Amino acid sequence: MAENTVLVPAGALLEACGRILEKVGVPPEQARIIAEVTVEADLRGIGSHGLLRLPAYVHRVQAGLMAADTRLKVVRERGATVLLDAQGGFGQVAGVYAMNQAIERARQHGVGFVAVRNANHFGIAAYYTMMALPHRMIGIAATNAAPSMAAWGGTTAVLGTNPISVAIPTGQDVDIVLDMASSVVARGKIRAAATKGERIPLGWALDAEGRPTEDPQAALKGTLLPIGGPKGYGLALVVDVLAGVLTGSDYSVYLASVHDLSRRASVGFVMQAVDVTAFSDWAEYTKDIASLIDVIRNSPRAPGVERIFLPGEIEWLRRQQYWQSGVPVPVKVLGELQELAAELGAAVNLPSA
């Protein structure tokens, strides 16, 4: 998968991303936020949620399906909670604003819970949950997405892979950052197997008739399988209620894909901050976290396992590496960025694809 990439400095990507967005009318400060969230995905090795998506964002704005200027409106608030309307704007701008609100509320109430309606794809959920970390808070986020999984026992897609992220401060260099979809694998992995002509393991996907399949082509016409069977189905459903129904956004089959240029998508999400110091002394908490991490890291390893990682640790290591080396951008993605920049007359400083 890593073949045919070009190493590009993160700074150049941030700049290019921001300039492209400004050219379609995104205010500079918002363009900077969207660029940061987007490039963070690539830095962490989650290319599927990074720059790869930028053309779709731009096309949605150009088609009038997404607002270039994201203006947030407070719909309701009560104590520790807020409901925001993103009015069809960028999920990244709404997400950063929402988590900042959650953090602020948590300072006063111990916990803050902010829901957002009528937004769009927000990139990686971990970006927002990690915002809580320097405040000695635990960040929690979940969003819904266009359907790609069946209900448990069903054959057609009715639920998104609806990710959940939890970021936990440790007081150490590496924090605990879980960011997981409710499906066993992402659709991209099946697409990759199809491209290479490889089979996929049983348990990844169902065909269009709801039968387990090892054929990636059949899987792409079918649905992704949830983790733990009915459990992952339950998680995805719960997230769709919280992010979709509770916020007053679209849900289930009514939520359009980011790639569907025929209609708007009203994506919803929820963000929560939990202040560690509302429950524990920071010193005591970090001592216990350190001891927990020691147990995990030093537990005996299975054959062939070199090291036990914390959730998010691989992404954190990758980020440090890519920050130094440059981010490996697939040639195809780089080409699309350059095309987009040229089309829009955005001055970017990217290596040739």
Residues 11-70 close enough to bind a second copy by CB under 8 A = none
Q: Say whether 212 sits in a helix, a strand or coil.
A: strand
Residue in 100, 61, 350, 117 with CA at minimum distance from that of residue 248: 117
Give me the phi and psi of 118, to 5 degrees please: 60, 40
Q: Does 188 bind a second copy (CB under 8 A)?
A: no
Q: Does 192 bind a second copy (CB under 8 A)?
A: no
Q: Does 315 bind a second copy (CB under 8 A)?
A: no
Mask: binding to a second copy, 109-148, rule CB under 8 A, as x and -?
xxx-x-x----------------------x----------
CB of 314 to a second copy, least distance (A): 9
Contact 148, 190 (CB under 8 A): no
Q: Does 227 bind a second copy (CB under 8 A)?
A: yes
Q: Which of residues 71-90 bind a second copy (CB under 8 A)?
A: 76-81, 83
Give me the phi and psi of 317, to 5 degrees please: -65, -40
Between 282 and 323, name the residue whose CB sits nearer to a second copy. Answer: 282
CB of 299 to a second copy, least distance (A): 4
210 torsion bin: left (phi>0), alpha (psi -120 to 50), beta (else): left
Long-range contacts of 309-315 (CB under 8 A, 24+ apart): 310/174, 310/176, 311/176, 311/177, 311/178, 311/179, 312/126, 312/167, 312/174, 312/175, 312/176, 312/177, 312/178, 312/179, 313/174, 314/45, 315/44, 315/45, 315/46, 315/126, 315/177, 315/179
Residue in 115, 49, 108 with CA at minimum distance from that of residue 80: 108
Sign, Cα dihedral of 350, 128, 65, 262: positive
Crossing angle for the helix pair 28-43 and 91-109, to the nearest 10 degrees: 90
- Stretch of 45-53, 66-74, 206-214, 339-347 contacting a second copy, by CB under 8 A: 206-214
Q: Does 199 bind a second copy (CB under 8 A)?
A: no
Between 152 and 336, name the residue whose CB sits nearer to a second copy. Answer: 152
Distance CA 189, CA 121 (A): 20
CB of 24 to a second copy, least distance (A): 32
CB of 348 to a second copy, least distance (A): 36
Count of residues near a second copy by CB under 8 A = 79
Q: Does 171 bind a second copy (CB under 8 A)?
A: no
CB of 124 to a second copy, least distance (A): 15
Q: Which of residues 269-288 bind a second copy (CB under 8 A)?
A: 274-276, 278-280, 284-285, 288
Q: Does 334 bind a second copy (CB under 8 A)?
A: no
CB of 47 to a second copy, least distance (A): 18
Among 9, 27, 234, 335, which residue sits at the site for a second copy (rule: CB under 8 A)? Answer: 234
Between 21 and 168, name the residue whose CB sits nearer to a second copy. Answer: 168
Residue 62: count of CB within 10 angstroms of its CB = 15
